[in-house]
């Protein structure tokens, strides 16, 4: 029985000339912003998008292109796809970061017994539907070119663990993993790799005192940084990740693998 020879591919992190879109990059100290900066430094032509006009400030700081869009709105996602294509060309790298909580749009913390259906839908739309709509809008161009990378932002909450009062967020992030794996199988023959990154406690301006304390309690002994998450995302976006698809990479300082608190 003959076996297929592995295709030669450059084992490189460089993304020279590739068009990349990072969603949810409005905060200057967030994961989206750090990811956009890293992809730019790797040679990509980067666009970023958020729901407010502050995205233009972030774009100016990085010397890239910014767009404003509500990614829970199907029509606005379609308009974004057209705008990015007109300005930069077909997107080859998509990072679905939109949806992670912020001060402007905090996570809804309420037990299921008290959670309204509108609150449930809001969390699902913000954390899962955004990834679905953007992936659907940009996957076709990648498939036509025969190369692409989609990296979705999940979280340890949902796919790995959960806390009381976060059922909607956890369900959405678990759904991101399911979307990632299904899409990976749909696009594998087209040369498009789809993966997700699941951050644990990451220190940003939106971090609460409780979250910071949780980070100090990890095996590594501190919260993670947006740059550390961005490094993982950038690797999965690169040609070097050519044999990785449908996977979830946990970035949580070892917190999810220990059996008990260290003594």
DSSP symbols for 215-231: HHTSTTSS-B-HHHHHH
**Residue 38 CB-half CA count within 13 A:** 24
Q: Could you tell me if 32 and 102 are in contact, meaning their C-beta atoms sit under 8 angstroms apart?
A: no
User: Residue 3's pLDDT is what?
Assistant: 53
Q: CB within 8 A of 166, min separation 6: which ones?
A: 107, 109, 157
Q: pTM, whole model, 2 decimals?
A: 0.93
Q: So what's the pLDDT on residue 218?
A: 95
pLDDT of amino acid 103: 44
What digits encode the pLDDT tens for the residues 102-160? Answer: 444 556 788 999 999 999 999 999 999 999 999 999 999 999 999 999 999 999 999 99
pLDDT recorded at residue 203: 94
Q: Which of 35, 253, 237, 49 is nearest to 148 (CA)?
A: 237
Tokens of 226: 């947006």
The rounded distance, in Å, linking the Cα atoms of 208 and 244 is 34
- What the chain holds in terms of domains, given with CATH numbers, is 19-251 (3.40.50.720)
Residue 167 near residue 123, CB atoms below 8 Å: no
The fraction of the chain above a pLDDT of 70, given in percent, is 92
Looking at the annotation, which residues are catalytic?
A: 169
- 186 CB-contact burial (10 Å; exposed 0-12 / middle 13-18 / buried 19+): middle
Nearest to 152 by CA among 182, 122, 110: 182
Residues of the chain with pLDDT below 70 are 1-10, 100-107, 260-263
Distance CA 178, CA 164 (A): 22
pLDDT reported for residue 108: 75
């Amino acid at each position: 029985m003959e076996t297929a020879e592995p295709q030669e591919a450059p084992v490189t992190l460089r993304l020279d000339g590739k068009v990349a879109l990072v969603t949810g990059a409005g905060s200057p100290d967030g994961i989206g912003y750090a990811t956009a900066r890293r992809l730019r430094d790797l040679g990509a032509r980067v666009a970023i998008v958020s729901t407010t006009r502050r995205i233009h400030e972030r774009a100016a700081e990085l010397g890239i292109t910014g767009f404003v869009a509500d990614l829970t709105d199907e029509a606005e996602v379609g308009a974004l796809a057209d705008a990015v294509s007109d300005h930069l060309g077909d997107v080859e790298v998509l990072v679905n970061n939109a949806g992670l909580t912020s001060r402007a749009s905090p996570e809804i913390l309420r037990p299921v017994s008290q959670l309204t259906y509108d609150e449930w839908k809001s969390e699902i739309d913000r954390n899962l539907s955004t990834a679905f709509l953007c992936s659907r809008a940009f996957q076709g161009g990648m498939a036509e070119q025969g190369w692409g990378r989609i990296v979705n932002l999940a979280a340890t909450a949902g796919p790995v663990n959960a806390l009381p009062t976060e059922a909607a967020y956890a369900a959405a992030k678990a759904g991101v993993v399911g979307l990632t794996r299904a899409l990976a199988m749909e696009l594998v023959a087209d040369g498009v790799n789809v993966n997700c990154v699941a951050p644990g406690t990451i220190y940003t301006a939106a971090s609460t005192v409780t979250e910071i304390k949780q980070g100090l309690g990890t095996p590594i002994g501190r919260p993670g940084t947006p740059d550390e998450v961005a490094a993982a995302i950038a690797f999965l976006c690169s040609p070097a990740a050519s044999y990785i698809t449908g996977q979830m990479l946990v970035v949580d300082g070892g917190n999810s693998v220990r059996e008990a608190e260290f003594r």
